[in-house]
Structure 1
C-alpha cells in the first residue's frame, strides 16, 4: 500500500473517532493504531530508501571526476601529439603528407592583429592614420531634448 493511501485511511478512521457515535468504539481505536503502525513502517521504509539513494551520490560524483580527469588527459595527449607533429613538420620543412586515408597539411599563419595597451598608445600617439573615431548617439542628451519639446 502506498503512503498516501495509508494517510487517507488514517484520516478516515480519525474522522470516525470525531463522530460521537464511534468515539469510544474499541474496534475503531484498534484500527487507528494499526493504520498508525502501517504509516510509521511506510515512513521508515521511505527514509531508508532516501538514505540509500543519497549514499549513491558520492560514488557517482567520484566517478564523474575520474571520467573528467580521463577526458582531460586524453585531450591533453591529443594536443601534445598535434604540437609534436607540427614541430616536426616545421623542422623538416615538409608542409603536406598524404597518408592514404587522410592528408596532413601545415602552413604558417601571419599574426592578424597587434595587441597593445590602448590607453598608453592614445596617450603617446596622435597620428590620424593610427586612430579611428567612433561616433555614437548620446542617449541622455536625446532624452532630455525630447523632454524639453525639441524636434530630434
Structure 2
C-alpha cells in the first residue's frame, strides 16, 4: 500500500507527463481517477487518526482537571488543618511543641514586610511605566499603507479545515 506522500508524488508526475503529451489521454484519466480515489482514502484515514488523537488529548485534559481538582482539595484540607493548629497554639499561648517526630512552632513570616496600598491615593512618582506596542494602531497604519519602523504586515497563513 502506498503512502499519501507517494500517491501525491505519483499524481504530480502523471500531470507532468500529461503536459508533455507523453501519456495516452485514456490511460491518464484512468490513472488519475485511481490515484485520486487512493488519495481520498488516505486523507480520510488521516482524518480518522487526527480525530482519535484529539479524543485522546481531550481524555487526558479531563484526567488532568480531575487530578488538579483532587490536588486542590488535598491542599485546601492541609491549609485548613495548619490554620486550625496555629490558631489553637496561639490561643493556648504555646509557641513551640517538640515531639519525637516533629518540632512545631508558630514563627514570624520572613521576607519583605507586606504593604497595603490604595491605588487611587498613591502619589504619581511611585508607579512603574510600562511601554507596550499598540497593535491595533500599528495594524491600522500598516493597512492604510503607512510605513511603521520595526513593523510589517505578514501574510495570512493557511490551515487544514476538517468538517
1:73-117 alpha-carbon deviations (Å, 9 max, x no partner): 1111111111111122123222211122321111467xx678475
Tell me the number of residue pairs that the alignment of Structure 1 and Structure 2 aligns.
120
The answer to which structure has the higher helix fraction is 1
**Could you say what the CA RMSD is over the residues aligned between the two structures, in angstroms?**
3.0
2:23 corresponds to: 22
Once the 2 structures are TM-superposed, how far is the Cα of residue 68 of structure 1 from its aligned partner? Answer: 1.8
2:10 corresponds to: 9
Runs of 4+ in 1 over 6 A off after TM superposition: none
Once the 2 structures are TM-superposed, how far is the Cα of residue 41 of structure 1 from its aligned partner? Answer: 0.7
Q: Map residues 1-152 of structure 1 onto 2, 5 A cutoff.
A: 1-24=2-25, 26-107=26-107, 115=116
Structure-2-length-normalised TM-score: 0.60
Once the 2 structures are TM-superposed, how far is the Cα of residue 39 of structure 1 from its aligned partner? Answer: 0.8
Structure-1-length-normalised TM-score: 0.63
| Structure with bigger gyration radius | 1
Query: In terms of mean alpha carbon deviation, does 28-37 or 82-91 score higher?
Result: 28-37
Distance in 1 of aligned mates of 2:29 and 2:117: 86
Gaps of 5+ in 2: 126-163
Once the 2 structures are TM-superposed, how far is the Cα of residue 54 of structure 1 from its aligned partner? Answer: 2.1
Gaps of 5+ in 1: 123-133, 135-152
Once the 2 structures are TM-superposed, how far is the Cα of residue 40 of structure 1 from its aligned partner? Answer: 1.0
Distance in 2 of aligned mates of 1:117 and 1:53: 50
